Structure 1
């Protein structure tokens, strides 16, 4: 892989997260009945960051859950015969709630499709919305994000890498190109 560019630094990630939090509040006319669910792995720190911003703005906490989509993947047999489960933790009722799925990068839409199955197995949400830090295009399914930190048009040979301090000890988004 050949490094191409740094797309977002720590400040840019903070600004995008703040904007997403404001957009969530505005679109839903407040935060009543809103819950955030981060998709493992890097959707989780992003969901927590959005929840912190919402709490600063609204002076009220929002529930945050963790969704492991491993068993819902449509390519599970290609990934591993014995998948490792990283535990889903949604310790609140999602029935009649506005569930906001949170992930780092939206690409083909297959991760989100798996996450929708995971959410629907846990109850009947009033609605499900999607927040992503990066939308890189190349959808294979009819899925779009409601909240986007940054649109980054890419080729299929490029890799977007989101790194969060909570997981990677650094906050940045980079783009690299596969060497051929």
Structure 2
């Protein structure tokens, strides 16, 4: 199963200047729990925003730079090639950024989205989730607290099956 996993604000903002614009420790925990021991697919800029590769995950980096290398990572030139590198019988996660989410939307089976209940200025955005294509199957609201400046909701979507005409 191909799952897109992201945290996006109410205006679909993902981040600015290749950085998140909020800090939600519970979202980081959820991301780690869901993606550990799986393949994660990302764009080069997302990969370069990490201080080091994320532990216990196979990194697949999509870039147009044909000579790009990253130690211990798989480097590919397209979303199709990235998906092809993932084991067919295991879950794989698309982790960003905005351009990669747009490219991956037709291939995704599931979306794990953390909606941050605030509006942010951003330069990267999550694509619109069209209700005719996706079904919300779980929604778990979390109120802000001393470690979380904003309310947020964990949402899970699955792709609707197209009925033949």
TM-score range, shorter chain: 0.3 to 0.5
* TM-score calculated relative to the size of structure 1: 0.34
Higher relative CO (Cα under 8 Å, sequence separation at least 6) belongs to 2
* TM-score calculated relative to the size of structure 2: 0.36
Higher normalized helix content (fraction of residues): 1
